[in-house]
Amino acid sequence: GAGVSQSPSNKVTEKGKDVELRCDPISGHTALYWYRQSLGQGLEFLIYFQGNSAPDKSGLPSDRFSAERTGGSVSTLTIQRTQQEDSAVYLCASSFRSRIDRDNSPLHFGNGTRLTVT
Partner 1 sequence: AQSVAQPEDQVNVAEGNPLTVKCTYSVSGNPYLFWYVQYPNRGLQFLLKYITGDNLVKGSYGFEAEFNKSQTSFHLKKPSALVSDSALYFCAVRDTLYSTLTFGKGTMLLVSP
Query: Which residues lie below 8 Å from residue 116, measured CB to CB, with a gap of 6+?
Result: 10, 11, 12, 13, 87
Handedness of CA 76, 38, 58, 18 (dihedral sign): negative
Binding mask 95-114 for partner 1 (x = CB under 8 A): --------xx-xxxxxxx--
67 binds partner 1 (CB under 8 A): no
Residue 103 φ/ψ, nearest 5 degrees: -80, 0
34 binds partner 1 (CB under 8 A): no
23 binds partner 1 (CB under 8 A): no
73 binds partner 1 (CB under 8 A): no
Residues 96/31, Cβ–Cβ less than 8 Å: yes
Measured from the CB atom, the residue of 25 and 112 that comes closer to partner 1 is 112
**Given the rule CB under 8 A, which residues bind partner 1?**
3-4, 33, 35, 40-43, 45, 48, 50, 56, 58-59, 91, 93, 103-104, 106-112
